[in-house]
């Protein structure tokens, strides 16, 4: 479902911070309803900024390939095994039996924004794309970044969403990662193939300058 249409309190972030591609405002209803509940629990003047929900499998494949190219160039000393582990930490390969979270419609990337849509600080003193600031419990964060992460975590965990610890911005409900983290016997959602996107360019490009 279109989560902005279902819950206007949510804010659709104008662009992805790293990749340039056609994003769609779709999530499973169970996730959209939980995000709406979390948005209602935030202090006045603060909103949930949604960067990405459901991701077409074609985009997922390109993201995985691009991550592989980037890490191979940055770490030529890594073995094949090390490279695969590094890539899969940030981008899951397309697999119907264990589908990447975003392709199920059960995962969402998000942060907090002010009433004008400006993102709050979640990473200082690190830059937005510095991998050292990506883990939920990253060391050396500023007091403001820690406070904002705590607030985000509180409102989302209260709804049943769970966080991928290596990426503070990535939360999910109903996918296989949620099932694993929560000790559930199985996932609720599987991969969703692209429908109704005929004629839409699903080519992935890199922004020349990262950021929102």
Per DSSP, the residues of the chain read -BHHHH-TTSEE-SS-SSEES----B--HHHHHHHHHHHHTSPTTEEEEEEE----HHHHHHHHHHHHHHHHHH-TT--HHHHHHHHHHHSPPP-SSS--GGGGT-EEEEEEEETTSPBPPSSTTS-TT-GGG-STT-TT--HHHHHHHHHHHHHHHTTT-EE-TT-TTEEESSSHHHHHHHT-SS-S-------S-TT-----EE-SS---
Q: How far apart are CA 53 and CA 174, in angstroms?
A: 13
Q: What is the mean pLDDT of residues 153-179?
A: 97
Q: What is the mean pLDDT of residues 70-80?
A: 92
The pLDDT, as a whole number, for residue 109 is 98
The pLDDT, as a whole number, for residue 168 is 98
The pLDDT, as a whole number, for residue 95 is 80
Least confident of 9-13, 79-83, 92-96, 136-140: 92-96
Least confident of 14-18, 169-173, 200-204: 200-204
Q: What is the mean pLDDT of residues 78-106?
A: 89
CB 75 within 8 A of CB 86: yes
Please tell me the number of Cα atoms within 13 Å of 71 on its side-chain side. Answer: 21
Residue linked to tokens 């990535």:
170
Q: How far apart are CA 178 and CA 101, in angstroms?
A: 9
Residue 174 has pLDDT above 90, yes or no: yes
At 208, is the pLDDT very low, low, confident or very high (cuts 50, 70, 90)?
confident
Domain ranges of the chain: 3-206
The pLDDT, as a whole number, for residue 34 is 98
At 199, is the pLDDT very low, low, confident or very high (cuts 50, 70, 90)?
confident
pLDDT in tens, 9-40: 999 999 999 999 999 999 999 999 999 999 99
Token pair for 171: 């939360």
At 206, is the pLDDT very low, low, confident or very high (cuts 50, 70, 90)?
confident
At 47, is the pLDDT very low, low, confident or very high (cuts 50, 70, 90)?
very high
| Of residues 41, 50, 147, 61, the one with CA closest to residue 108 | 50
Q: Which class for 194: exposed (0-12), middle (13-18), buried (19 or more C-beta within 10 A)? A: middle
At 124, is the pLDDT very low, low, confident or very high (cuts 50, 70, 90)?
very high
The pLDDT, as a whole number, for residue 41 is 98
Q: Please give the torsion angle defined by the CA atoms of residues 65, 71, 72 and 77, in that order, rounded to the nearest 10 degrees.
A: -160
Residues of the chain with pLDDT > 90, as a percent, come to 78
Token pair for 196: 């109704």
| Domain 3-206: CATH class, spelled out | alpha beta
Q: How far is it between the farthest Cα atoms of the chain? A: 49
Token pair for 195: 């429908």
- Beta bridge partners, 20, equal 205
pLDDT in tens, 102-121: 999 999 999 999 999 999 99
Average pLDDT, the chain: 94
């Amino acid at each position: 479902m279109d989560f902005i249409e279902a819950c206007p309190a949510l804010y659709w972030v104008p662009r992805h911070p790293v990749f340039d591609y056609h994003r769609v405002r779709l999530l499973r209803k169970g996730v959209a309803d939980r995000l709406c509940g979390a948005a209602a629990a935030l202090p006045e003047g603060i909103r949930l900024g949604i960067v990405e929900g459901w991701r077409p499998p074609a985009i997922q494949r390109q993201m995985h390939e691009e991550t592989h190219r980037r890490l191979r160039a940055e770490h030529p000393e890594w073995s094949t095994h090390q490279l695969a582990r590094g890539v899969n930490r940030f981008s899951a390969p397309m697999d119907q039996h264990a589908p990447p979270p975003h392709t199920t419609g059960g995962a969402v990337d998000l942060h907090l924004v002010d009433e004008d849509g400006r993102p709050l600080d979640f990473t200082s003193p690190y830059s937005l794309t510095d991998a050292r600031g990506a883990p939920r419990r990253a060391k050396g964060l500023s007091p403001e970044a820690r406070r904002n992460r705590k607030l985000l975590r509180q409102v989302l965990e209260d709804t049943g969403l769970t966080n991928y610890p290596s990426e503070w911005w990535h939360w999910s409900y109903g996918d296989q990662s949620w099932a694993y983290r929560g000790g559930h016997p199985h996932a609720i959602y599987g991969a969703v193939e692209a429908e109704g996107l005929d004629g839409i360019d699903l080519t992935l490009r890199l922004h020349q300058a990262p950021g929102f």
